[in-house]
Amino acid sequence: MLRRWGWLATLGTLGAASLAYVVVVRGFLDPGVGHALGWPLLGVLPMVVFGTWLLTVSASAEAVYVAVAGTGMAMETAYLTLVGLDPGAIHEPWFPWASAFGLAGESLGVTGMAVMLACYPDGRPERRWQQVAARCTWLCLLGVPLALLVLPAVAVPAHMDLGGSVPNTAAVPGLAWAVPAARVLANPYLPLAVGLAVFAARALGGPPEVRRRLRVLLAVTVVTVVSCTLWTSLPFHPLVALLVTVALLALPAAFVHGILRYGAFGVAPDERGPVGVRASNLLVAVLYAMVVGTPLVLLSDRLAAITVVLVTALLAVALLPARAAMQRWVARTVLGDRDRQLTMLNELGRLEEAGEPQELLARLAETVRAGVGAAWVRVRLAGPDGRAADVPHGEAGDAAGDPAVVHALRRGDEPVGAIEVGPRHHGEYSDAERALLATVVGPVTAAVANVRLTAQLAARLDELTASRERLVAAQDDERRRLERDVHDGVQQDVVALIAGLRLARNRLARGELAEAELAELQDLARGTLTDIRELAHGIHPPVLSDNGLVAAVESGAARFPVPLEVDADERVRAERFPEDVETTAYYVVREALANTAKHARATHAAVGLARYDGHLRVTISDDGCGMDDVVPADRGGLANIRDRVGALHGTVTVGLNRPSGTTVRVELPVLGGRDG
């Protein structure tokens, strides 16, 4: 951080002082100097301003290179202004030192631009030789002190003509042997050639990703090189000057493009949008100042000062709306339409006003679509398996093709759905719009989760209602079965027993009663008692209450029509579960085994009882004919099992048994046991 601000203080102060000197001399003291303020304001100022500003937002080496290039251009322009103001200065004893200042500015400008091109956009070329070449380019700065101390004639910038050589009074005679090295290093075309060679090798022969990132800057560099080449031969031609100015303005624009697309100059991804907007607004402000200052540059020597000031002021006022419109366009292009986005956020906050869940999801999709200018938006809810449904639950626009942005919606670790955003109507989504979409995922997730929960609760309510109806129907059927069993069985036996007793009493009164008749009545009473016990066993077996679940299941194994194996570990045998759990588990086993006996055509069946993670797991399997596919637990004879288990908040899973048969797995939550 301190290093960056050190560069900013040094380069910013030097560049600003150089430009201030140029503006004061050429604008006020001697407007006729050279080509007045055209080149300093239209060509140099944008690079100085952009380079200095770049140091305030980036600590990358690339930002330093741009600032060095702009500051060097300003130093060289100040030197040219000095010589143009006082042509006789070339004979002053201090002129070699002033010329060294101008030569240093030229070297800094060319070398900074060359190294920036060689290292763009992240400050490090890909190949080793490119890295070495970029570092060696800085050696050309040694040409400035060498030229001052070695060359017999004063060295001046390459495109400056003094009308002849000027003796260098600062030269040291004993260093004449270093003249060839000084001439080579002081040549500004050497670092420029090295930088352009590295840049061309990367832009034309580098990896595909590098070529793509350098495409825009390559086009701008070609235009800049061509325009500067023309400038060396036609330095004061107005069309050439315009071309050079446009090229130098295009360089900062290319840098802004690099910031937005590739994070050039070390700008973090989440800062690209804001930094790009600030950079663009800065360039718009510089362009506005250039356009407003054009009358001052072109008409200062033709019209009265008051007239030039008036024209400049009127032009400044007239162009203010255009400047504001351009800044709004830049912000909208980079960051998206903020008014529309704020409207979207406001609408998201009012989603709870929607009535039905389907209406809420439709409004949600339409709000997001309008907020980011998408062609379409789909909202999907997650199913029980966590995957988004194939059919969208909310949709806006005519969905076609693959989505451009997909955000999974999660509440904690639970997936609740997904939002799919189609392509924009115009162009691609900016980083800011993608960040906005990521930001609205929070309220969108809450809304989707509420809709999903509402749908789940509605389904559970319907399921609970159906379950209660089935339980009531089952209870009615059971009551009618008991009535039939009592009426057709026990009741008839009791009636017959009463009639027999009455007959025996009459025969006893007449002395006709035989011992055999009493034995027959005794057998009838014993049979009736057996029927009553069987009936009671069907309602609730006493062994279940007395000895527990395992004993009750094993007591019925002997009466099962196919071989039945009961597997329960000692812990389950010794534990007494809550009464509702034991009753439910017992009747689940009975119901499942009844289905096996009726439909499976099995030769073997098994019942497993185990404790598992706070649950009682009951598994009933057989080797029968099985099913064509997994049967949901709410169909056919499994409905009673599901209803009983659901009343205790348990789960039922029905699947195929390998290699044949069916498996019913029930898990019942066990909150605590009871004493045996």
Q: How confident is the model at residue 33, as a pLDDT?
A: 46
Pair of tokens at residue 196? 């352009």
**CA 582 to CA 21: how far, in whole Å?**
98
Calculate what percentage of the chain has a pLDDT beyond 70: 66
Contacts of 600 (CB under 8 A, 6+ apart): 622, 624, 625, 626, 661, 662
Specify the higher pLDDT residue, 357 or 161: 161
**CA 386 to CA 389: how far, in whole Å?**
9
Q: How confident is the model at residue 18, as a pLDDT?
A: 86
Query: Residue 620: phi, psi to the nearest 5?
Result: -120, 120
Ranked by mean pLDDT, which of 32-46, 182-196, 429-443, 589-603 comes out on top? 182-196
Mean pLDDT to the nearest integer, 340-358:
53
Burial of 667 (0-12, 13-18, 19+ CB in 10 A): buried
Q: How confident is the model at residue 516, as a pLDDT?
A: 76
Sheet with strand 605-612: strands edge to edge? 564-568, 605-612, 615-622, 662-669, 651-656
Query: Residue 374: phi, psi to the nearest 5?
Result: -85, 155
**CA 323 to CA 608: how far, in whole Å?**
81
Mean pLDDT to the nearest integer, 301-315:
69
What b/e sequence results for 604-631 when a residue is b if at least 16 CB atoms lie within 10 Å of its CB, and e otherwise? ebbbbbeeeeebbbbbbbbbbebeeeeb
**CA 536 to CA 528: how far, in whole Å?**
12
Lowest pLDDT segment from 51-65, 214-228, 356-370, 634-648: 356-370
Contacts of 621 (CB under 8 A, 6+ apart): 605, 606, 608, 657, 661, 662, 663, 664
pLDDT band of 632, cuts 50, 70, 90: very low
**CA 558 to CA 543: how far, in whole Å?**
14
Lowest pLDDT segment from 9-13, 136-140, 345-349: 345-349
Q: Above 80 in pLDDT, residue 228?
A: no
**CA 532 to CA 485: how far, in whole Å?**
10
**CA 378 to CA 541: how far, in whole Å?**
57
pLDDT band of 609, cuts 50, 70, 90: very high
Specify the higher pLDDT residue, 181 or 434: 181
Q: How confident is the model at residue 667, as a pLDDT?
A: 92
Strands 405-411 and 414-421: antiparallel
Q: How confident is the model at residue 451, as a pLDDT?
A: 63
Specify the higher pLDDT residue, 328 or 185: 185
Of the CA atoms within 13 Å of residue 649, those in its CB half-sphere come to 5
Q: List, for residues 140-195, the tens digit of each pLDDT value.
A: 888 888 888 888 888 888 777 776 678 888 888 888 888 888 888 888 888 889 99
Q: How confident is the model at residue 641, as a pLDDT?
A: 81
Pair of tokens at residue 315? 């032009």
Instruction: Please say whether the beta carbons of 395 and 378 come within 8 A.
Output: yes
Cα Rg, the chain, nearest whole Å: 47
Cα–Cα distances in angstroms (integers) from residue 473 to residues 261, 407, 595, 642, 643, in the given order: 68, 47, 19, 15, 12
Of the CA atoms within 13 Å of residue 283, those in its CB half-sphere come to 22
Q: Above 80 in pLDDT, residue 606?
A: yes
Pair of tokens at residue 164? 């002849």
Sign of CA dihedral 57, 62, 67, 70: negative
Q: List, for residues 212-225, the tens digit of each pLDDT value.
A: 888 888 988 888 88
pLDDT band of 628, cuts 50, 70, 90: low
Q: How confident is the model at residue 655, as a pLDDT?
A: 85
Contacts of 563 (CB under 8 A, 6+ apart): 603, 604, 605
DSSP letter, residue 304: -
Cα–Cα distances in angstroms (integers) from residue 196 to residues 201, 305, 526, in the given order: 8, 44, 115
Q: How confident is the model at residue 254, as a pLDDT?
A: 82
| Residue-by-residue DSSP string for 498-546 | HHHHHHHHHHHHTT---HHHHHHHHHHHHHHHHHHHHHHHHHS-HHHHH
Contacts of 184 (CB under 8 A, 6+ apart): 143, 190
Q: Tell me the one-letter amino acid at 589.
A: V
Q: Above 70 in pLDDT, residue 129?
A: yes
Specify the higher pLDDT residue, 299 or 155: 155
Strands 394-396 and 377-381: antiparallel
Contacts of 56 (CB under 8 A, 6+ apart): 8
Q: How confident is the model at residue 544, as a pLDDT?
A: 76
Lowest pLDDT segment from 125-139, 250-264, 286-300: 286-300
pLDDT band of 522, cuts 50, 70, 90: confident
Instruction: Please say whether the beta carbons of 231 and 241 come within 8 A.
Output: yes
**CA 73 to CA 476: how far, in whole Å?**
99
Q: How confident is the model at residue 297, as a pLDDT?
A: 59
pLDDT band of 197, cuts 50, 70, 90: very high
Q: How confident is the model at residue 201, as a pLDDT?
A: 92
Query: Residue 348: phi, psi to the nearest 5?
Result: -60, -35
Strand blocks (E) in 325-383:
377-381
CB count within 10 Å of CB 525 equals 15
Contacts of 533 (CB under 8 A, 6+ apart): none
Q: List, for residues 495-519, the tens digit of each pLDDT value.
A: 666 767 777 777 777 777 777 777 7
Instruction: Please say whether the beta carbons of 150 and 170 come within 8 A.
Output: no
Q: Tell me the one-letter amino acid at 225.
A: V
Mean pLDDT to the nearest integer, 564-579:
87
DSSP letter, residue 635: S
**CA 605 to CA 623: how far, in whole Å?**
7
Q: Above 80 in pLDDT, residue 653?
A: yes
pLDDT band of 350, cuts 50, 70, 90: low
Lowest pLDDT segment from 91-95, 146-150, 486-490, 549-553: 486-490
Q: Above 60 in pLDDT, residue 589?
A: yes
Q: How confident is the model at residue 147, as a pLDDT?
A: 87
Sign of CA dihedral 31, 36, 41, 44: negative
Say what the alpha-carbon torsion angle 222, 227, 232, 234 is, to the nearest 10 degrees: 150
Closest CA to 616 of 541, 549, 529, 521: 549
Q: Above 90 in pLDDT, residue 619?
A: yes
Q: Above 50 in pLDDT, residue 4?
A: yes
Q: What is the mean pLDDT of the chain?
A: 75
Structural domains in the chain?
2-202 (no CATH), 268-335 (no CATH), 348-539 (3.30.450), 543-669 (3.30.565.10)
Q: Is the peptide bond before 40 cis (omega within 30 degrees of 0)?
A: no
Q: How confident is the model at residue 165, as a pLDDT?
A: 79
Mean pLDDT to the nearest integer, 407-420:
74
Pair of tokens at residue 342? 């704020």
**CA 250 to CA 227: how far, in whole Å?**
12
Q: Residues 495, 499, 500, CA angle at the centre, nearest 5°?
A: 115
Q: How confident is the model at residue 636, as a pLDDT?
A: 52
